[in-house]
Amino acid sequence: MIRLKRILVSTDFSDAAAKALPYASSLAREYGAELHVVHVVEDSLYYAQFVYSGAPCDPEMVIGGLVEDRKKQLEALRASLPPELRVTTHLRRGVVADEIIATAAAVDVDLVVIATHGRTGFSHLFFGSVAERVVRLCPCPVLTVREKTHGILQMPAKPGG
């Protein structure tokens, strides 16, 4: 028998990530599991952007502002979820795949739900695949959700909507 006590879903606030959230929420509701939502700020990308652009500002200050903005986005996302769900948010800084895996291990989750962006060719070669790395290295099962779904999961309509 499968028992899910803790489920982790990652978000980068993209349309693709928005497709993974209903799967994670539905599973958490079905199993009575805690839902953990993680967002990772990959500061190395921002540091590189400042170094190469010659921007006359402190990258740590700008990234600090970004972190505060992402905290607000995570809180808004948490508030948008059904109130009966037990939701914890995590904001991490570092390499996205590594931080998702580290959060999964630290929280001792039973399942990770992650979206795939469906990159191919040069984009996949250059950026790699966060989902692919998580699937390969995560200590627990991983459910990947494609950006283009076929309506398999139907979320219940909100009352009055």
On the CB side of 96, CA atoms within 13 Å amount to 18
Q: How far apart are CA 86 and CA 106, in angstroms?
A: 18
Asked if 133 contacts 99 with a C-beta cutoff of 8 angstroms, the reply is no
Asked if 78 contacts 34 with a C-beta cutoff of 8 angstroms, the reply is no
Q: What is the pLDDT of residues 139-159, one digit of tens each?
A: 999 999 987 655 555 544 444
- 1 lies in a domain? no
- Percent over 90 (pLDDT), the chain: 60
Residue 20 has pLDDT above 80, yes or no: yes
pTM for the predicted model, two decimal places: 0.80
Residue 160 has pLDDT above 70, yes or no: no
Q: How far apart are CA 118 and CA 105, in angstroms?
A: 26
Residue 11 has pLDDT above 70, yes or no: yes
CATH no. for residue 106? 3.40.50.620
Where does residue 13 fall: left (phi above 0), alpha (psi -120 to 50 degrees), or beta otherwise? Answer: left
Check residues 56 and 78 and name the one with the higher pLDDT: 78
Q: What is the pLDDT of residue 42?
A: 86
Residues 8-29, mean pLDDT to the nearest whole number: 94
Residue 133 has pLDDT above 80, yes or no: yes
Asked if 115 contacts 20 with a C-beta cutoff of 8 angstroms, the reply is yes
Q: What total of structural domains would you count in the chain?
A: 1
Q: How far apart are CA 86 and CA 24, in angstroms?
A: 12
- 155 lies in a domain? no
- 128 lies in a domain? yes
Q: What is the pLDDT of residues 63-120, one digit of tens each?
A: 788 889 999 999 999 999 999 999 999 999 999 999 999 999 999 999 999 998 755 5
- 151 lies in a domain? no
Asked if 19 contacts 147 with a C-beta cutoff of 8 angstroms, the reply is yes
Structural domain for 78, as ranges: 6-146
